[in-house]
Amino acid sequence: MNSREIIELVESAESELKEIFSSIDKTAYFYSEKVLNAMQHNNLSEGCFNETTGYGYNDLGRDTIENIYKEVFSSEDAIVRNQFVSGSHALSVTLFALLRPGDLLLSISGLPYDTLHEVIGIKDNNSSLASFGVRYDQIDLVDDDFDYEKIESYLKNNKVKVIEIQRSKGYSTRKSITIDKIDRVIKLIKSIDKDVIIMIDNCYCEMVERINPIEVGADVVVGSLIKNLGGGLAPNGAYVVGSKNLIELVGERLTLPGEGREVGPTLGVNKQILQGLFFAPSVVASSLKTSILASRVMEKLNYKVSPKYDESRADIVQNIEFNDPDLLIKFVQGIQSGSPVDSNAIPIAWDMPGYSDQVIMAAGSFTQGSSIELSCDGPIRAPYIAYLQGGLTYDYGKLGLIKAIEYMEKN
């Protein structure tokens, strides 16, 4: 295919997607109204953009950010900090905050995200939860849904402290978990044991569906600010929202017992975190449209894709299955070539800390590792899947896709 044919292919795919795109725009409007209201109700003012240094006592902006997050999630409390390196760190801090030696942690969505393996102790590490005597067990998904029967009998026979549910698929071929399934499984869990703490890894899922896990009974929800809610502007950080007593524990673990959430200098990032949240509804919509366009186009090019363009989505991630390491590598390199930063760099697979297989990543982003910006990555293992996500604007997402296909044709 030459460049003109590629553009024709992409535009003909795009013309099939008008209705789907219009429903995405409606969800973006829904969340924009929520964010605007939360900013107004919580008196967001210019003074909130001031920075604190040192201990970070009395940071008006930080408190306002946390109140705004509380309102957007309809949660009792929230902690939103740049002291969380990213989502993985917030997940780790939350697990260490909630679990004590002898406690049992149960994942009901199969193997957790790669960076949690050494946190939990699935992979050996002298600082893991296992090294402190925290036990771990796992129930796999069946046919992309929870194993309701197994969960029921497990909870009747074991005292579980924390149940972890990862919504987005990570580097797997399963489907991401929609809110209706989360709703059903939480009702089941709470009917058997109302004290178990339900913790959701919500990475990539924010503002995709109109209901969030707090609204269906989750106790604590964790996500990354270099993904959806950072809106591409937050330079790092993560959020944890949930019940007041649990968020208090997370604060005590993030900083130190006794000082907890009272400390934490924001060093000037408040404005970026707030403006990022302001843009997030629209940026998530652009990312979703980019993923859906890529799904339709790559399907037309005879690759297996998941989700398909017209399937309902729980997150912004698009899988494209190449069944061939070279094609995967070329596609990822192509996305890099369609990025604004380091477009001349040619990514290669490498041993990334926290991941078991070699991973190749296109990351031509303004913020290092940001995957709400157009990005694409995949572990070098069969069936050689590219995980595509992000797109700060739909036009840049579309251009990135066109350039990736051009690169594949040329190389």
Ligand X SMILES: *Cc1c(COP(=O)(O)O)cnc(C)c1O
Q: Which stretch, 22-30, 81-89, 284-292, 334-342, contacts ligand X (CB under 6 A)?
A: 81-89
Closest CB to ligand X belongs to which residue? 87
Distance CA 55, CA 267 (A): 10
Of the residues 56, 61, 121, 170, which one makes contact with ligand X according to CB under 6 A: 170
Using the rule CB under 6 A, give the single segment among 83-91, 147-155, 157-165, 181-189 that binds ligand X: 83-91
Q: Closer to ligand X at the Cβ: 87 or 397?
A: 87
Distance of CA 158 to the CA centre of its chain: 30
Give whichever of 49 and 354 is closer to ligand X, judged by the CB atom. Answer: 354
CB of 204 to ligand X, least distance (A): 5
If one counts every other C-beta atom within 10 angstroms of the C-beta of residue 195, the result is: 9
Give min distance, CB of 371 to ligand X, in A: 7
- DSSP strand pairing (220-224 vs 197-201): parallel
Minimum distance from CB of 348 to ligand X (Å)?
20
Q: Which residues pair with 63 in a beta bridge?
A: none
- Residue 311, both tokens: 């399937």
State yes or no: residue 92 binds ligand X (CB under 6 A): no
Min dist CB 171 to ligand X, Å, is 9
| Residue number with CB closer to ligand X (31 or 113) | 113
Residue 42 vs 115, nearer CB to ligand X: 115
C-beta of 342: minimal distance to ligand X in Å? Answer: 19
Task: Please name the residues in contact with 4: beta carbons below 8 A apart, sequence gap of 6 or more.
Answer: none
The amino acid at residue 46 is: E
Give 386's DSSP letter.
Answer: E
d(CA 297, CA 309): 9
Site size for ligand X (CB under 6 A): 13
Q: ∠ CA 344-349-352 to the nearest 5 degrees?
A: 110
Tokens 């997402």 sit on residue: 397
Q: Which stretch binds ligand X (CB under 6 A): 22-30, 80-88, 140-148, 280-288?
A: 80-88
* Footprint of ligand X on 191-220 (CB under 6 A): 201, 203-204
User: In angstroms, what is the C-alpha Rg of the chain?
Assistant: 21
* Residue closest to 396 by CA, chosen among 280, 290, 282: 290
Write out the residues near ligand X by the rule CB under 6 A.
86-88, 113, 115, 166, 168, 170, 201, 203-204, 224, 226
